[in-house]
Each structure stands twice: as C-alpha cells, then as structure tokens.
Structure 1
Amino acid sequence: MRAVPEGAGNDWFISALGAAQICSWGTLFYGFPLIAEAMRTDLGWSKTELYGAATLGMLLAGAAAYPVGAAIDRGYGRLLMSGASVLAGILLAAWSQVEGLVAFYSVLAVLGCMQAATLYEPAFAVIARRVGLLNARKGITALTLWGGFASTVFIPVIQFLIETQGWRGALLVIAGVNAIVCGGLYFFAIDPRKDIPARILQPDEAAPLAGRAAVGAAMRRPAYWGLMLAWISYAAAFSSLTYHFYPLLLERGLDSTGVVMVLSVIGPAQVAGRVLIHAFASEAPVRTLGSAIVVVFPLAVIGFAVAPPQVAVIAFVAAFYGAANGMITIVRGLAVPEMVTREAYGAVNGSLVAPMNLMQAGAPLAAAVLWQASGGYEAVLAAIFIGSLTLCVGFWFAAARGGR
C-alpha cells in the first residue's frame, strides 16, 4: 500500500473511531467488574462463577483475533466493527435478563468475540487500510489517546446507572450505547471506498501475500517470534497485576482508601504516556521506543514489591507503570510493519494478538492459584517479574532481528 496525505476527512475518521473506542472500551471492558459486583450482591453468585464467564469470553476473543484481522485486510472493517457493536448491544440486553449461569456464560462467550472485533487491534487494522502503513502511526497514536479516557468516562457513569437503575437497567443503557452510538460511528466512519487503493503491480511483479500465506511468511522471520514472546509475557504480567492489584496492595499494608488512590493514578498516567510520545517521540523508530519502554516493567514490579507501604511512594511507581502501559499500546500497534512485515497487517497482527489474549485470560487464575499455594503475593510478584524480564528479552530480540 502506498501512503496518502492526511486531511480533514481523515481527521473526522480518527475522531469518530476514537469516540467509538471510548464507548467500546468503557462498556465492554471496564464495565464488567462493576456489573459483576452488583450481580454478586443481587444473585449471590461467587466471584469464581462470575469471572469464569469473563475468562471464557477472553479465550474466545483470542480465538477470533486472527479471522477478524484477516477479514479487515479483505475490506470488511465496516461490516465487522459496526455489526459487532450492534450484536454486542443485543447481547448486553440479553445479559440484563439472565437468571442462571448457563445463560450468563452463553452471553459472555459470544460477547468476548465481539470484543475481538471492536477494540484496539481491529481499529488499528482499519486505520492501516484507510491511510496506509506509512501514515498509520499518527492515527494509531491519536486513537489510543481517545481510548485512554474510556475508564475515566464510563466507570463513574456505569456506577451511577447501577445505583439509580440497578445492574439490569445499567446493562440496557450500555446496550443502547453499543448498538446505536458505536454501531453508528463505526458504520459512518469506516468507508471501504475511501481505503487507500492497492498499488498497481508491474507485469513481472508478484501479488502481495495475504491471509495465511502472509502469516506463514512472517513466522519465518525471527522478529515475529521475538514479538510473540514479548506480547505473551506482557499479557501475563499486565492481566495478573490488573486483576490482583487491589488485594496485592492491601497485603502490602495500604488501606482500601489508599489502594483506590493508587489505582486512580494509572489511567491518567496511561494517557500522559501517550501524550509524551505524540509530543516528543512521534518520529522515533518503534524498535528504539519499545526497547526503552519495556525496561520500565521489571523496575515497576520491583517497586511494587519493595516500596514502603506509603500511598505517595507506591502511587509514584504506579504512575510510571501506567505511563509505560499507555506507551506500549502504541508500540504494539506499530511493531509489525516496522519489524516484521508490511503485508496483511490485520492478519499478521491478529496472529500475534490471539495467543496474547489467551494468556491474558488464563494468567489471573494462575496468579490466584500461585497465591493460594504460596500463602502470599511474594511468589506472584516473583512470577510477574520473570514475565517482565522475558518481555524485555523478546522485544530486544525482535528489535535486533527485525527488518530495517
């Protein structure tokens, strides 16, 4: 694909995608813990039963990542993202009516597949088709800036809805947000007719690889496997910390108010990290940027393990951790075209995201088992630290062996 200049049309395109991503992330990802807690109180289900459904959904999201990416490569981005948002709305409405675990698990299973078709990775692939891979960096960075506000906007909104309408009423409202707002924005923003046209081939030139052929070619490059190790390690560490931060910090000696204060730092820090990249490193090579960012993760784990149980100190560590999380999202979106291949972005990136999502689904449970077996979070932090080191090793290997 050749690049095209950005203009007002593409500005609207990115803004509409960004607004939709705020709603998609805010309702489909950040809303679950709030709804689950309200369901636990109302229905008496255990956390294991509730979060087991979320794990099933994430597993199926991992399985759907490659076919979603390959379909977007073939020009079906509008149909996938808008259709998945409408179906997500229907599923959320069905969720509001569940009375038993079978129905709940059935809804969450299919809803996980809708996440694979509506969150960052499919949106990154849509941007690459619209503006070309050479111009995709600016659009992907801007999109993550929009998405960074999802928790800030929707966590208080969903909590208010639960308090005033109950969890069933809250689900009906966010069902409408998905079906109408997200579905509409994705439909009108993603126009296959405006995708950058394929480059005209010379008579003796082979057509670019697509689908499984492109993934197979990428797998023959060492950088692909370096990124695979890096992203799987990142998913294990990030999801374990996300699901266990609250009890981990309580065990470290903070009270509940202090833990909430620490956790409230992470979201704004993610946005701040992305702003810093946009302002000061918008042209830096992804291999250089990522090689520096990944170092923060093992340092942050050390900080969480040894810092004194003081809110200000641990919040300082959490801010660096959050900033690195925000930055690594941009690196994930840009690493494939710079370090592996510029062909079939959606399929190749989806093949890397699939095992990452599978690890993200299983790691919190593994951390819980390790906590129970060891009697504390020291062993869990040690395992997360090892994962953060393999993140560094994998990315540095990919950076050293990736195409230039």
Structure 2
Amino acid sequence: MITRALVIKLGLGQLISWGTAYYLIGNFGTLIAQHHGWSDSVVYAGFSASLLTMAVISPFCGRMIDRHGGRIIMTLGSCLNALGCLILAFADHQIMHFIGWIILGLAMRATLYDAAFATLARIGGRDARRAMGQITLFGGLASTVFWPLGHLIQSEFGITIALVVYAAFALLTVPMYAAIPDARHGKPSGTTLNSTDNTNDTSNADDHGLPTHQRLCGFLYAVIVTLLNVVNAAMSAHMIAILIGLGLTTAAAINAASLRGIGQSAARAAEILFGKRIAPASLTLFATAVLPLCFVLAFWGDQFAIAAMTFTLLYGAANGVLTITRGTLPLMIFGNARYGHQVGRLLVPGFILSALAPSLYERAIAHWGPNGALWLSIGLLACACGAAIWLYLLLRPQRSETRPALIVR
C-alpha cells in the first residue's frame, strides 16, 4: 500500500537529493574550479565520472531494489550523498575530487527517480503510476530551490561552507528513506503488450527472454531516455553558462534557469490532474515534440528576456512530463515484474553517454559558442522525437487504456 506519508517522504527526499547532488555542478562547478585553481574541464570530468559510475551500478541497484526494496539502498545513498559533498568541500587534490564525484555517482543512482520509481513499483505494482507522478512534483523544484539557495550560501560564506551545508541537507533524507516499507505488491503484474507472461522465471531478466515486440519497445525507450539524459546532463552543467553566453547577466541567467523547476512541477501537476486518460506513449510523443521547439526560443534570449524565460519554462515543463513517463512507460511495456532490473539495464547507455555530455558541451561551447550548443541540443532532441513517434505507433493499440486510479491515504 502506497500511503500519503510515503509519497510525501519520498517526494521531499527527491527534492533534496536532486538539489544537493545532480544540480550541484550547475551552481558550483565553475566556483570549485576557481577555488582550487583548476580548469573547468577537471570539475566537469568529475561530474562525468559520477554519471559513468551510475551506469556501472545501475543493473545491480535495480536488482537489489527488486529483491529487498528501496529502504536499504536509498538510505545508504543518502549517506553517500553527504559524504560526497564533504569530500568535494575539502578535497585539495584532483584525485580526492574525483573520488568525491564517484561517491556522488553511487549516491545518485541509489536515491534519484529511477531508484524511487523501482521502489514504488515494487510496493504498488501498476497502481504506483500516480505516486510516481506525485513525487516528481517535489523533485521538479530542486533546481528552483537549490540553485538560488546555493548561490546565496556561497555568496555569503564561500564554496566550502556551501558544500558542507549541502551535506547536511543530504543527511536530512536519511529518516525519510529509512521509513520506506519492505512490502511487495501481491503477484507481479505481467506486460500490457499481450505477449507472454514475464512474471515467473529468471529468463526475463535479460533481453533474450522477452518477445520481439517488447525488445523493440524497450530499445526505443532506451534511445529516448539516452538522448534526453545527454541533453539534461549538459543543461544541468551548462544552462546558466549558456544563458550568460547569450548575453544575460549572471543574476538574470540564474533566475531564468530557475524557472526550469517551476515548469517541471507545473507540467507534472497538470499530468496528474488531467492526464489520467492519456497513455504514457502519447505523453512522451507530445513532450519530445515540444523540446526542440523550446530550444529555438533560446536564440532570442539575448534580445528578449522573455524568450530565455519561456525557453527554460517550456524545457522544464516537457522534461517534467518525460520524467513521469520514464517511470510509467516500463510499466506499460514490461509490467512490474523485475521492473528495477529491466529499467536498470536500459538506463546504462544513457548514463554512459550523459557522462560524456558535460565535457563535450564544454568543448562545443568553446568552439562554436552557446549557439552551437543549442543547435546540438536541437538535433539530439529531434532524434528523440523520432524514436517517440515509432514507440507511439508500436503501442498505439493500447491508447484506449486508462491508468488505474490510486487512492493515497
């Protein structure tokens, strides 16, 4: 049973975990480099190492949540999050700096949405879909809360104290994740693709145990998530810098970038309230079609502040919807049997390529300027939209399905 209290605790945990780990690089990356006299590429390489770490442990983390629930994994992740922030705060050598990022990579895979979604799927089965959307309402505000908050703390007390405060925030999530129940939802549900039952034996843990239709849908899901991960990782690291490069002041760029979180949460609230009868594949198609268009608006950000604000708001809104479908599409394709392992496997390419994204975008910005980075993003997102169209066509027979309602008590 997924209770209201569980949703609130997981939601607050996501707000803090995203803000103190994943979005740390966007606020503090350049400042850490300046503090130690390093090049920016060293810090962004550390962030890339954290994403690569997420890829390495992703299948294992998914299996552990399938078997034991999310309490142990997510609580441990909170402790690692705090440890990683502390190491970044006091690391004077690049080796220790990289160790700090690797620890943050372990923490992020154990605490962010993918771990939370697998935890909810294990507890609630298909009824977890509504709860998945609800916790993203909290997580979507992470950049809105922690980018201005981090900037304020750093301005007043310096980068070291700011990172120590982030570590303290991370520890606040320990009791939240420690309250996760170990309950498992009845009999694992099978897939909605009317193929074969995937609930009984371990052969379904790997791709060769799935019907061709499921494998293709899983592949397209992985393509979409991978391309979105690449752009998201790049924007988390460089969105503020890109906006500054387009001509905005630092304060204006931070304020505009912070609208990303508002857009995410607003779109997720709308999806929860009004998207009940819209299939996840349809939502994915719509959101991926919006993303390239909103990046076009950014080209006018230097002339019209409203264009930059609309860009970040729409970017956040589309990502807000896609975060929910990232959790609900696998339920539609595979059911909740071995949800954590299936998703963990499919996320590996996204983590690996997104590990390269900050460094690649840094070079793109250096060679082609912020406009070049925007065009690169448009191309990648157009490919994601193409994959979403294909996936929609494959899942179209399920378009009349509605989501099971979840009454959160």
Shift of 1:22: 1.4
1:151 aligns with 2:143: yes
Of the three residues 128, 147, 163, the one matched with 1:171 is: 163
Question: TM-score, normalised on structure 2?
Answer: 0.86
2:68 aligned partner: 75
Taking the aligned partners of 1:74 and 1:135, their CA distance within structure 2 comes to 19
C-alpha separation in 1, matches of 2:253 and 2:159:
25
- Give 1:206 deviation, angstroms: 8.4
Report the alpha carbon displacement of residue 172 of structure 1 after superposing the two structures with TM: 3.0
How large is the RMSD of aligned CA atoms in angstroms?
Answer: 2.7
Superposed displacement of residue 154, structure 1 = 2.8
Amino acid across the alignment from 2:304: Q
Answer yes or no: is the 8 Å Cα contact 2:83–2:103 preserved in 1: no
Residues 59 and 361 in structure 1, CA contact (< 8 A), matched pair in contact too:
yes
What displacement does 1:123 show?
0.3
- Aligned AA (1:281): G
CA distance in 1 between counterparts of 2:162 and 2:112 reads 21
> How far 1:120 moved relative to its partner?
0.6
The Cα of 1:321 is off from its aligned counterpart by: 1.9
Q: Which moved more, 1:239-248 or 1:49-58?
A: 239-248
* Equivalent in the alignment of 1:319: 313
Structure 1 match to 2:227: 233
Tell me the residue number matched to 1:195: 184
C-alpha distance in 1, partners of 2:333/2:303? 41
Contact 2:189 2:337 in 1 (8 A): no
**What residue number does 1:395 align with?**
388
Shift of 1:209: 4.1
Instruction: Pick the aligned partner of 1:116 from 109, 119, 141.
Output: 109
C-alpha displacement of 1:98: 1.7
- Tell me if the contact between 1:231 and 1:356 (Cα under 8 Å) persists in the aligned partners: yes
Q: What is aligned with 1:186?
A: 177
Q: Which of 142, 148, 156 is 2:134 aligned to? A: 142
Change (3 A) 1:340 1:392: farther
Contiguous gaps of at least 5 residues in structure 1: none
Q: What's the counterpart of residue 209 of structure 2? A: 217
Work out the percentage of aligned pairs sharing the same amino acid: 23
Cα distance in 2 for residues equivalent to 1:87 and 1:211: 33
Q: 1:167 to 1:313 in 2, by over 3 A?
A: closer
Contact 1:219/1:225, CA 8 A, preserved across alignment: no
Cα 1:199/1:260, change in 2 over 3 Å: closer
Q: Which residue of 2 aligns with 1:106?
A: 99
Deviation at 1:393, TM superposition (A): 1.2
Report the CA distance shift for 1:380/1:57 in structure 2 as closer, same or farther (over 3 A): same
Distance 1:31 1:237 in 2: 17
The answer to whether the 8 A contact 2:188-2:335 is kept is: no
How many aligned residue pairs are there? 389
Task: Supply the distance in 1 between the matched residues of 2:234 and 2:266 (Cα, whole angstroms).
Answer: 23
Kindly provide the amino acid, as one letter, of the partner of residue 168 in structure 2.
G
How far does the alpha carbon of each residue in 1:58-97 deviate from its partner, in whole angstroms, 9 at most, with x for none? 1111221111111111124211111221233233333333
Alignment of 1:306-385 (within 5 A): 309-373=303-367, 375-385=368-378
Q: Deviations over 1:86-111 (max 9, x none)?
A: 23323333333322111111121122
Aligned residue type for 1:337:
L
2:203 & 2:363 partners in 1: Cα distance?
38
User: Is the contact between residue 41 and residue 359 of structure 2 (CA under 8 Å) also seen in structure 1?
Assistant: no
Q: Which of 82, 90, 96 in structure 1 is aligned with 2:89?
A: 96
2:184 maps to a residue whose letter is D
Q: Shift in Å at residue 347 of structure 1?
A: 0.8
> What amino acid is the match of 1:24?
S
Aligned-partner SS, 2:90: coil
Say whether residues 1:300 and 2:294 are aligned partners: yes
Q: Deviations over 1:341-370 (max 9, x none)?
A: 442111111112221122222123223333
Please identify, of 218-227 and 324-333, the stretch whose mean Cα deviation from structure 2 is larger: 218-227
Partner of residue 407, structure 2: none
What displacement does 1:256 show? 4.0
Tell me if 1:131 matches 2:121: no
Partner of 1:243: 237
Conserved 8 A contact 2:148-2:258: no
Take 2:105 and 2:150, find their aligned partners in 1: how far apart are those partners? 19
The 3-state SS of whatever aligns with 1:289 is helix
Distance 1:358 1:31 in 2: 19
Q: Distance in 2 between matches of 1:95 and 1:318?
A: 28
Tell me, what secondary structure is at the counterpart of 2:262? helix
| Secondary structure at 1:135 match in 2 | helix
Please state whether the residue corresponding to 2:173 is helix, strand or coil.
helix
Q: 1:177 to 1:316 in 2, by over 3 A?
A: closer
How far 1:326 sits from its partner (Å)? 1.0
- Aligned partner of 2:200: which letter? P
Matched, 1:289 2:280: no
User: Matches of residues 18-97 of structure 1 in structure 2 within 5 Å?
Assistant: 18-97=11-90
Answer yes or no: is the 8 Å Cα contact 1:226–1:394 preserved in 2.
Answer: yes
Deviation at 1:147, TM superposition (A): 1.0
